[in-house]
Structure 1
Amino acid sequence: MEAFSRYLGINGILSLICWVFWIFSPAEGNTIFEVAGSRVILPCNKTNATLQQLTWTMNGFLLISFKPREAIYITKEAESLKMNISLSETQQYTLVIDRVQKSHTGNYTCYSTTSEGVLEQKWQLIITGHEENWNKLIPVAVIVPCVCCLIFIIAWIILRRIYNRHAENGNQSHTAEMAQSEDIYENCLEIYARQQQNYQQPHHYKTRAC
């Protein structure tokens, strides 16, 4: 029974490890992390073979289709997401997104149909944040430490003054106690001196007549 329990425990741990790796493992293809508001360019495979058709898809849905000597077909979804492809020599057939948003997050695939066959290139685009938020966080990150330092300095000055006042009061009370002790000591000396004088004075006794 104990061996069976151990077997189940080991299998459970191994299953959990495999599940975690499956969740956090990168998707097939290249992964790109971009900040919202930036310009993103997703390249497509280049080939020396004659291109017959090129298509871009997002999460399996058609975005843009292109055939040589024909107009570019752009779906409504691509228009709403403000996507287009570049036909320039340096960035030929690349998918261009001028200002990416969180809605652009997804898996992109470029299919190149040529005389040699079909080539595909996959991209995973992940939007990590918003550009304006970062611009707002920068001043906050600068101001907060300055304010904390200022509060610390003010608190230190206040505590220092309180400590100095307590020290002055302590010195004054100590001085008063010393003065009072000296007065008491002097009074004691005076009393002792008087007693000595009275003791040293001769006593005159009158003779009694018998």
Structure 2
Amino acid sequence: MEDLWKYLGINKTVSLICCMFWIFSAAEGNSISMVVGSKVILHCKNRTNDTLTQLTWKMNKVRLLTFKPVRLLDESQEARSLKINISLSGSEMYALVIERAEKSHTGNYTCEINTDKGSGEQKWELIIKEHEESGNFNKLLIAVAVSVPCVCCLIFIIAFAILRRVCKRAGGRSRSAEMQEREEDIYENCLETNQRRGYNRPNHYKPRAH
């Protein structure tokens, strides 16, 4: 009995993890980030073979566009002010089209589909960023890429100059010490030579006066 409860507990945990992963992956797939001035297309497709009766686009729960096969397209004042259109041709059928995105287009978009057999909806999160954000980031990367090698070269040159100066000083000191030792050796040799000469020199005595 305990094994059964453990088995059921493991299955519940795995199922919960799978559900959470599916929810977050779906939400991430419906999030779009664009820059100001770019063209944005949010697709909304009738995934069933049912007859479409009405399709409505909303932004932050405010109606933008409504399409009916009989009455065609109904635009709201909000859609006109934001310059938002709906595509009714080709592979972009029923897609929401923003020709030139602005910061004011940032928001949550919902596409509601009504058919003769039911209804459904598709959601999008649209984020519009300024050019400066991406531009500043690229400039920062370029600045770092250029400055780092220059700083490394400067550090290498300074270290090389310091090391060379230290080596010169050490060499000069060793040479001066060596020259001093040589001078001392020469001086000592001269003293020894003079002492030897003075020792071997004959003594001349003056005759005594009688």
Quickly name the TM-score band, shorter chain normalised. Answer: 0.7 to 0.9
* Structure 1 contact 45–119 (Cα < 8 Å) conserved: no
Q: Secondary structure at the match of 2:90?
A: coil
Q: Distance in 2 between matches of 1:195 and 1:83?
A: 116
Q: Secondary structure at the match of 2:124?
A: strand
* Structure 2 contact 52–115 (Cα < 8 Å) conserved: yes
Q: Distance in 2 between matches of 1:89 and 1:200?
A: 127
CA distance 1:29–1:65, change in 2 (3 Å): farther
Partner of 2:97: 96
Partner of 1:173: 173
1:19-98 → structure 2 map (5 Å cutoff): 31-37=30-36, 38-46=38-46, 47-98=48-99
Q: Distance in 1 between matches of 2:91 and 2:70?
A: 19
Partner of 1:109: 110
Q: Secondary structure at the match of 2:157?
A: helix
**Offset of 1:186 from its aligned partner?**
0.8
Q: Distance in 2 between matches of 1:155 and 1:28?
A: 49
Equivalent residue pairs, number:
187
Q: Deviations over 1:91-146 (max 9, x none)?
A: 1111112233343332222122222122222223334x334532453344224322
Runs of 5+ unmatched residues, structure 1: 1-20
**Offset of 1:205 from its aligned partner?**
6.0
CA distance 1:137–1:40, change in 2 (3 Å): same
**Offset of 1:67 from its aligned partner?**
1.8
Over the residues paired in the alignment, what is the CA RMSD in angstroms?
3.1
Partner of 1:184: 184
Partner of 1:147: 147
CA distance 1:51–1:173, change in 2 (3 Å): same
Amino acid at match of 1:88: S
CA distance 1:29–1:164, change in 2 (3 Å): closer
**Offset of 1:55 from its aligned partner?**
0.9
| Normalised TM-score (structure 2) | 0.72
Q: Distance in 2 between matches of 1:176 and 1:197?
A: 31
CA distance 1:85–1:207, change in 2 (3 Å): same
Partner of 2:195: 195
CA distance 1:36–1:154, change in 2 (3 Å): same
Q: Distance in 2 between matches of 1:194 and 1:28?
A: 106
* Structure 1 contact 78–84 (Cα < 8 Å) conserved: yes
**Offset of 1:149 from its aligned partner?**
1.2
CA distance 1:81–1:30, change in 2 (3 Å): farther
Q: Which has the higher helix share?
A: 2
Give the % identical residues. 37
Q: Distance in 2 between matches of 1:84 and 1:30?
A: 23
Amino acid at match of 2:171: N
